[in-house]
Structure 1
Amino acid sequence: MLPVDNGSLVKATVKVPLDAYMMDFVFSEREDGGVFDNNYGMDYHLPVFGGVAKEPPMHVVHIAVEMAPIAKVGGLGDVVTSLSRAVQDLNHNVDIIFPKYDCVNLSNVKDFRYNRSYQWGGTEIKVWFGKVEGLSVYFLEPHNGFFGMGCIYGCRNDGERFGFFCHAALEFLLQGGFHPDIIHCHDWSSAPVAWLFKDYYMHYGLSKARVVFTIHNLEFGVQNIGKAMAYTDKATTVSPTYSKEVAGNPVIAPHLYKFHGIINGIDHDIWDPYNDKFIPISYTSENVVEGKRAAKEALQQRLGLKKSDLPLVGIITRLTHQKGIRLIKHAIWRTLERNGQVVLLGSAPDPRIQNDFVDLANQLHSSHADRARLCLTYDEPLSHLIYAGADFILVPSIFEPCGLTQLIAMRYGSIPVVRKTGGLYDTVFDVDHDKERAEAKGLEPNGFSFDGADSAGVDYALNRAISAWYDTRDWFNSLRKRVMEQDWSWNRPALDYMELYHAARK
């Protein structure tokens, strides 16, 4: 035993065969039992260096119904693309199987071409192939018109359409002679892959594959999710805290032994203030003050706001109850009371909520035209300018499985103001209250957060944030620099997923 500051180290010498490239460890306190630690079912594994063998690349196939930027509705689309790229960058082979919607944006698909056709379920299915963000994607186009309906979701028979797609995707793998190591499916829409694979395809020649299932949001299709949880080899959700928040749910509770929370990352190529065509000057943590000043002026000019140095709060969100609509409205008025400016970008799928915000926009544009602007639409270029031009990005979600908004905000040197829930709690550490919690993660505090789901909570976080901007500008600027230097990319999560894939195959 070697004593160290916080306990003791054990040193051991192990003979390893020359062709070994990985060693797996499980620890137990005594030979006959005692406390047992297998890293929550994942084992501890360490690469072996200096041998003659290299780790063979793994073949991972994602079966998904959303993918950024060609057909994205929410965070699921971002994850499919970014996780796939990060795993491919680790020298593994990744393919994506995707429906050929008539509304796919083909301008973002390179080398798009016809691949082959096959029959399944009495239907001819055409397969097209193309590259999206450097990833190989197979597009399935069945002749039954299921994906020629002008929409991704909300086409009255979504369950039937996606069920057919899941079956057709597995059939494509089988008929095409694919032998993936991992089949990764996502949310309710491709959950059927888990049970169709185990009930049918596993016995036919796709036998070496293991199924991994990721829950991006438990709000929708809980029945499908529950069934997939029973069948999958490993399951994940998109942050450790969200995994604890949903652990008691009856569709998840029986399967906790194979359920893990892995935080999402953001794609540093897409969200990069040094290389972003939508902002006026490129900047890094070294010239963040100048970069953000130029972006703020451009934003004020574009939206017709008063050009002056005021604290600017940005809100970029879908307007749904999950996102804390009441709290967003309260924060708008509170910011205006504190002589700040506020810019909201987002739209509501529910027409009643959309109309409500249209009314609020009209009211604000007449009473506070120089300091408030609500842009009730989807506008990717404008979102980049808001991330760069805002001082704060507010995310007061009632629940938030992961949340990418707060991570993008930090990448652009905007300080997140968030409610403590799900992935927001895992990534934002309050400057006044979370020093120890941040330190345990090897981080410095990086934002403002609040408990509860009422206006007093929002006020507590927002008032401290705006006061810091007014009263301690030098400190505030050093905070901006600090949050830009934190790494919220896919580098770490991709390694966590690789660990999970290894564990699934064992």
Structure 2
Amino acid sequence: MTERSANIKAEMKAKTMRRFLLSQKHIVYTEPLEIRAGTTVDVLYNPSNTVLNGKPEVWFRCSFNLWMHPSGALPPQKMVKSGDGPLLKATVNVPPDAYMMDFVFSEWEEDGIYDNRNGMDYHIPVSDSIETENYMRIIHIAVEMAPVAKVGGLGDVVTSLSRAVQDLGHTVEVILPKYDCLNQSSVKDLHLYQSFSWGGTEIKVWVGRVEDLTVYFLEPQNGMFGVGCVYGRNDDRRFGFFCHSALEFILQNEFSPHIIHCHDWSSAPVAWLYKEHYSQSRMASTRVVFTIHNLEFGAHYIGKAMTYCDKATTVSPTYSRDVAGHGAIAPHREKFYGILNGIDPDIWDPYTDNFIPVPYTCENVVEGKSAAKRALQQKFGLQQTDVPIVGIITRLTAQKGIHLIKHAIHRTLESNGQVVLLGSAPDHRIQGDFCRLADALHGVYHGRVKLVLTYDEPLSHLIYAGSDFIIVPSIFEPCGLTQLVAMRYGSIPIVRKTGGLYDTVFDVDNDKDRARSLGLEPNGFSFDGADSNGVDYALNRAIGAWFDARDWFHSLCKRVMEQDWSWNRPALDYIELYHAARKF
């Protein structure tokens, strides 16, 4: 099973790399598409889709190995027409020691307007090089990390992004507070690494392995992280102290990382503390990258980090546009990018998942999901009938569209479907409201609906596998992982068009061209607005397709499983961003 799973992952990775190379085809691509060292390649460029549209000349500037090739940059080359269309061409001899080709375009030989991909430059990997890539050392400073200290999606991202970048050959480490509530059973070989003094207290440093990553846990002896929880206890002071002590730990150990990556308001202080106290130290060549996971919290800290960081991201392209006018971001838009989150394909893998009854891939998705559906119905006492199941897996907060969730439950039941909801509310009033709703629904629709008002990750695996649809009607959603996991398990997402939901779910009726432009096929149902009419529009089409076009529905389940929503592509984008940060 392990070998089969590894083969599936390798095939998906190769397919994603090809899609990565084709993703800019409307602007630039190469012939051949995959470049080999020691060969000749043509670069084809369409200036009509760039800032160089209408310029009488376009000049091509190229080098290799992230502009650090020993022979330096090639002389600027005037591009020539390629055929009758708008395409221009330049021919390049790729040296045998090139592992990356780097290039930009300009309107004049010496200067003028540049198309440098918004400061990122164009980079294409080169295979068969006699030289090895200069790998980076990246340290994440964060207050969450799955599964040892996970509260929300931030913890998942820190772990899975780190693993994906490490898989590409880079050295990646994480620095985390040593909470007393740490899930230590998920840390391998945890042991005391050293102690150092800072800020008037001794700080013990522990080291261990979490999901194959090296993690340093800082434990100040003033009890700051012995309060029984991650958040909710004088957080500004605790996390500010942690950020400064993490930087001090890096300095005293002479780690000299190429990149320090900090996340959200909770480790935002890293950005300005580094610039104020460490940028003139032996860490002077380090660059700081900052990721905003949710702008709803700590906007002041986020704005200050945006000022001081070298590059900043948020977790989807659409969310980056949605928040670009925010006062914390608008003055720094030139260094702000949207990169989609991914999911960890090892954690979310229906072929190796111990929480579902039958392992399956896209080849036997119908059989696998049928077995999971029966197990789900049995577990919750639902009728063992052939009807669609709509799953809802969410935190019950205003952001997640509570009124739309309630409407979707009722609409599904009216349409002869079944509903399973898994989720809890941090607000006790909302939790109480859903407890009352559960009592009412379980009485009226006995055997057709189950609301489980808690957090239970193993159970979520069975719901993803056993549901036909997963609905995510968020009012706003920076990225969202729920719809990505759903597709990994062959469940069809039904989403509101916002943030990362818009970037990852392409409506089967309305988004064919948008999907095709990204090299994808439509993969779900979506709706505009934030009222019941929008939910009905998407839900009615979805359930109708299940009842009336079952073969087509099954082919859609297979299709969404074949799409790659892992960190394969985002990791490549982050590495390009890290390289861009190091240019300055």
Instruction: Provide the rounded CA distance (Å) in 2 between the counterparts of 1:45 and 1:174.
Output: 32
Instruction: Provide the rounded CA distance (Å) in 2 between the counterparts of 1:21 and 1:332.
Output: 53
Are 1:181 and 2:258 matched, yes or no? yes
Instruction: Provide the rounded CA distance (Å) in 1 between the counterparts of 2:107 and 2:314.
Output: 31
Corresponding position of 1:430: 507
> Is the contact between residue 2 and residue 11 of structure 1 (CA under 8 Å) also seen in structure 2?
no
**Structure 1 pair 4/358, CA: closer, same or farther in 2 (3 Å)?**
farther
> Is the contact between residue 280 and residue 298 of structure 1 (CA under 8 Å) also seen in structure 2?
yes
Report the 3-state secondary structure (helix = DSSP H, G, I; strand = E; otherwise coil) of the residue aligned with 2:102: strand
Trace 1:185-334 onto structure 2 (pairs within 5 A): 185-334=262-411
Corresponding position of 2:225: 147
**Structure 1 pair 4/395, CA: closer, same or farther in 2 (3 Å)?**
farther
Report the 3-state secondary structure (helix = DSSP H, G, I; strand = E; otherwise coil) of the residue aligned with 1:7: coil
Report the 3-state secondary structure (helix = DSSP H, G, I; strand = E; otherwise coil) of the residue aligned with 1:177: coil
Which amino acid in the other structure matches residue 454 of structure 2? T
**Structure 1 pair 364/143, CA: closer, same or farther in 2 (3 Å)?**
same
Are 1:411 and 2:482 matched, yes or no? no
Corresponding position of 2:241: 164
Are 1:11 and 2:64 matched, yes or no? no
Q: CA deviation at 1:55?
A: 1.4
**Over residues 94-120 of structure 1, what are the superposed CA-to-partner deviations in whole Å (9 max), with x where a residue is unaligned?**
110000000010100001111000000
For the aligned residue pairs, the C-alpha RMSD in angstroms reads: 1.3
Q: CA deviation at 1:23?
A: 3.9
TM-score (norm 1): 0.98
Instruction: Provide the rounded CA distance (Å) in 1 between the counterparts of 2:85 and 2:120.
Output: 24
Which of these residues, 135, 151, 156, is aligned with residue 57 of structure 1? 135
Instruction: Provide the rounded CA distance (Å) in 2 between the counterparts of 1:227 and 1:8.
Output: 43
Q: CA deviation at 1:32?
A: 6.1
Are 1:135 and 2:194 matched, yes or no? no
Number of aligned residue pairs: give it.
Answer: 504
Which of these residues, 383, 389, 401, is aligned with residue 466 of structure 2? 389
**Structure 1 pair 47/283, CA: closer, same or farther in 2 (3 Å)?**
closer
Trace 1:457-476 onto structure 2 (pairs within 5 A): 457-476=534-553
Report the 3-state secondary structure (helix = DSSP H, G, I; strand = E; otherwise coil) of the residue aligned with 1:54: coil
Report the 3-state secondary structure (helix = DSSP H, G, I; strand = E; otherwise coil) of the residue aligned with 1:314: strand
**Over residues 328-382 of structure 1, what are the superposed CA-to-partner deviations in whole Å (9 max), with x where a residue is unaligned?**
0000000000010000000000001000000000000111111111000000111
Report the 3-state secondary structure (helix = DSSP H, G, I; strand = E; otherwise coil) of the residue aligned with 2:82: strand
Which amino acid in the other structure matches residue 269 of structure 1? D
Are 1:100 and 2:178 matched, yes or no? yes
**Unaligned runs of at least 5 residues, structure 1:** none
**Structure 1 pair 49/376, CA: closer, same or farther in 2 (3 Å)?**
closer
Q: CA deviation at 1:50?
A: 5.6
**Structure 1 pair 167/485, CA: closer, same or farther in 2 (3 Å)?**
same
Corresponding position of 2:554: 477
Which amino acid in the other structure matches residue 268 of structure 1? P
Corresponding position of 1:402: 479
**Structure 1 pair 5/126, CA: closer, same or farther in 2 (3 Å)?**
farther
Instruction: Provide the rounded CA distance (Å) in 2 between the counterparts of 1:400 and 1:145.
Output: 35
Instruction: Provide the rounded CA distance (Å) in 2 between the counterparts of 1:232 and 1:389.
Output: 44
Which amino acid in the other structure matches residue 119 of structure 1? S
Instruction: Provide the rounded CA distance (Å) in 2 between the counterparts of 1:340 and 1:49.
Output: 51
Which of these residues, 83, 91, 107, is aligned with residue 161 of structure 2? 83
Which amino acid in the other structure matches residue 145 of structure 1? G
**Over residues 246-302 of structure 1, what are the superposed CA-to-partner deviations in whole Å (9 max), with x where a residue is unaligned?**
001011001110000000110000000001000000011111111111100100110
Report the 3-state secondary structure (helix = DSSP H, G, I; strand = E; otherwise coil) of the residue aligned with 1:30: coil
Instruction: Provide the rounded CA distance (Å) in 2 between the counterparts of 1:47 and 1:116.
Output: 40
Report the 3-state secondary structure (helix = DSSP H, G, I; strand = E; otherwise coil) of the residue aligned with 2:145: coil
Report the 3-state secondary structure (helix = DSSP H, G, I; strand = E; otherwise coil) of the residue aligned with 2:139: strand
Report the 3-state secondary structure (helix = DSSP H, G, I; strand = E; otherwise coil) of the residue aligned with 2:90: coil
Are 1:67 and 2:155 matched, yes or no? no
Instruction: Provide the rounded CA distance (Å) in 1 between the counterparts of 2:468 and 2:125.
Output: 43
Q: CA deviation at 1:205?
A: 1.2
Which amino acid in the other structure matches residue 75 of structure 1? G
Q: CA deviation at 1:176?
A: 1.1
Instruction: Provide the rounded CA distance (Å) in 2 between the counterparts of 1:129 and 1:72.
Output: 18
Q: CA deviation at 1:22?
A: 3.6
Instruction: Provide the rounded CA distance (Å) in 2 between the counterparts of 1:488 and 1:129.
Output: 31
TM-score (norm 2): 0.85
Which amino acid in the other structure matches residue 7 of structure 1? P
**Over residues 411-460 of structure 1, what are the superposed CA-to-partner deviations in whole Å (9 max), with x where a residue is unaligned?**
00000000000000000000000000000000000000000011100000
